[in-house]
Amino acid sequence: MTQAKSAVVVGAQWGDEGKGKIVDVLSERFSMVARYAGGHNAGHTVVINGEKFILQLVPCGVLRPGCRGVIGNGVVLDPMAFLKETGRLRDLGIDVDSRLFVSNRAQVILPYHRMIELAAESAPGRQKIGTTSRGIGPAYEDKMARNGLRVVDLLNTDLLKTHIENACREKNAIAHALFGTEPLDPAQMYEEYAAAAEKIRPFVTDTALLLNRALREGHSLMFEGAQGTMLDIDHGTYPFVTSSSSSAGGASTGTGVGPTLIGTVIAVTKAYVTRVGEGPFPTEINDSAGEELRKRGQEFGAVTGRPRRCGWLDLPLLRYAGMINGISWLVVTKLDVLDELAEIPVCVGYIADGKKTMEIPAQASGYDKLECVYHKMPGWRTSTQGITKFDQLPKAAREYLTFVEKEAGAKVGMVSTGPDRDQIIFVDEFATEMKTASARKV
């Protein structure tokens, strides 16, 4: 068997780290890119020659000619969102029809999932998680309850009709009893989704078989994560998390590629931290400095437009992400957002109950007891935007990255210095490893 050539790109924070751009940049070196978790609540933004592409379900690799994209079994697929996104890409001249594949084992989001989530999130007395209300959580709930509909089932009209009728009977009753929600029409839903299924059918295949066969034949494969480590259902700031395994381990379960075939783990972190929605955030900035970061970093959700909460870089959190994912390399994005700061605080530890600690609390309430310990570094007060060589960075910027590398325990392999795909710095050692590991069979 040919040695596997594969890498996972994962978020090291609460998502929105810029994984879309990094996957796009690296996909030039890979044969295939496989998305392994999440749904259309995760937006990846890629800027090519000033033109912005926002992808929600489709892996960023499809923006590179010759690179195939796979939506794995760990993803929850909204058929209507998928058709809208592929149609938009087709209109932009992107070849999705011959280069995009959907797992026949992926779970399907249906309108009652959105109904349940929206009603639950809005109900008085319920703890607000800050979801996108797109049905992601309820679809994963049905999956784990062994009551979901998979893509392969979507294509079977008899099974689809029966499933929608039974599900609507149950979900309508629950939603009405708990939240007073008006019922959905199963007949109309069936007509709409049966028609959508026929448009999706050409994309559907056994993607686990496709991916493993590609690896055996010597092709290179990149796994594209959604959200970030601190939103992982098991390892994140529960319950303020997503409903899937967004850390590197999800790449195996979410695609059907065995863990021994996965090579390098590349974690993406901003030069600061953001998160969307509710939940703990130890280094959050609640003054004008936070507003300035949000403004300079254009920190608004690619999918929802929601403003992101902003904070200073959290090194204990980054070390935790390194442990959970087995990080090989760090990619630091949005370095240029810090360009105008005279001083840059970095969280190097916590104080809890009067004692120093580096540990991440298991309970969300544990974060309320943390006081951040900051190490203040000098800013560089000059533009780094568009710089493509590490030694061309200002001395203080290089020192900032070196400090992060040392404290995080993982080497910095790439630095993003602007939104465009060409505004990137490759560290020589990382570039060499990527060239060797991902040399693809054409």
Q: Report which residue type is found at 203.
A: F
The residues near 38 (Cβ < 8 Å, ≥ 6 apart) are 75, 76, 136, 226, 227, 242, 244, 246
Best CA proximity match to 20, nearest among 437, 362, 420, 442? 420
Task: Let me know if 44 is a catalytic residue.
Answer: yes
Instruction: Give 397: exposed, middle or buried? Use CB within 10 Å, 0-12, 13-18, 19+.
Output: buried
3-state secondary structure of 334: coil
Residues facing residue 27 across a β-bridge: none
CA dist 320 and 313 (Å) reads 13
For CA atoms 86, 87, 92, 93, the dihedral sign is: positive
Active site residue 16: yes
Q: Tell whether the torsion through CA atoms of 297, 303, 306 and 308 is positive or negative.
A: negative
| Geometric angle at alpha carbon 131, from 130 and 134, rounded to 5° | 155
Catalytic residue among 16, 24, 142, 336: 16
Amino acid making up residue 312: W
Residue where the block lists tokens 């800050």: 130
Backbone angles phi, psi at 294, to 5 degrees: -60, -40
Catalytic entry in 40, 44, 113, 163: 44
Whether 298 and 323 have beta carbons less than 8 Å apart is answered as no
Kindly list the catalytic residues. 16, 44
